[in-house]
A and B are shown apart, each in its own frame.
Chain A
Amino acid sequence: MRKVAMVGAGMTRFVRRALETPKELSYEAAKIALDSSGLSLDDLDCVAHGTAPDAFDGIHQNGEYMVDGSGGWNKPTMRVYVGGGTGVHAIVHGWHHVASGLFDTCLVVCEEKMSSAMPHAQGFFLTIFDSITERALEPNLLWIFALEMNRYMERYGYTKEDMALAAVNNKTNGLNHPASQFSDQVTVDDVINSEMLAYPVSRLDVSPVSDGAAAVLLAAEPVARRLTDKPVWIEGVGWSLDTAYWATRDLSYPRYLDQAARMAYEMAGIREPAKQIDIAEPYDPFDYKALHHMEGLQLSPRGRTVELLRDGHFAKDGNLPMCPSGGLLGVGNPISAAGTMKVCELFWQLRGEADQRQVPGNPRLGVAQAWGDLMQVSSVVVAGI
Chain B
Amino acid sequence: MDEKIKVSGGTGLSSKDISSGKIFMTEDSLDCAYAWDTGVAINRYLSELKKARIIGTKCRKCKRVMLPPRLFCELCFIPSNEWVYLQDSGVVNTFSICYVHWDASRIGEGEKPHLPAVIEIDGASQGMGIMHLLGEVEPKHIKTGMKVQAVWKPESEREGSITDIKYFKPL
Residues of A within 8 A of B (CB): 9-20, 24-25, 27-29, 31-32, 35-36, 55, 58, 118-120, 122-123, 125-126, 131-134, 136-140, 142-144, 146-148, 150-151, 154, 178-179, 181, 195-201, 211-213, 243, 245, 247-251, 344, 348, 353
Known contacts A16-B12, A137-B132; A142/B163 CB under 8 A: no
Partner of A12, one of B3, B8, B45, B94: B8
> Can you list 24 A-B pairs, Cβ within 8 angstroms, ordered by A?
A13-B11, A13-B12, A15-B11, A18-B13, A32-B8, A35-B1, A119-B103, A123-B104, A125-B102, A131-B34, A132-B38, A136-B163, A137-B162, A140-B104, A142-B100, A143-B116, A146-B98, A150-B95, A151-B118, A178-B7, A179-B10, A248-B128, A250-B127, A348-B6
B residues 1-58 near A (Cβ < 8 Å) are: 1, 3, 5-14, 23, 27-28, 30, 34, 36, 38, 42, 45-46
Give min CB distance, B62 to chain A, whole Å. 13
B101 at the interface (CB under 8 A from A): yes
B42 touches A150 (CB 8 A): no
A10 touches B7 (CB 8 A): yes
| Residues of the B chain whose Cβ atoms lie less than 8 Å from the Cβ of A126 | 102-103
Give min CB distance, B47 to chain A, whole Å. 13
Partner of B104, one of A14, A122, A178, A200: A122
Partner of A17, one of B12, B30, B97: B12
Across the A-B interface, give the 4 residue pairs with the lowest CB-CB distance, nearest first: A28-B9, A13-B10, A146-B96, A12-B10
A29 to B116, CA, bound (A): 40
B87 at the interface (CB under 8 A from A): no
Task: Given A12-B8, A151-B94, A251-B118, output 17 extra A-B contacts at Cβ < 8 Å.
Answer: A10-B6, A11-B6, A13-B11, A19-B11, A20-B11, A24-B9, A58-B28, A132-B46, A133-B42, A140-B102, A143-B131, A146-B116, A196-B97, A197-B98, A211-B10, A247-B130, A348-B6
Partner of B127, one of A10, A11, A248: A248
Partner of A151, one of B1, B66, B93, B97: B93
Give min CB distance, A202 to chain B, whole Å. 10
Partner of A25, one of B9, B13, B27: B9
Partner of B129, one of A24, A28, A32, A247: A247
B99 at the interface (CB under 8 A from A): yes
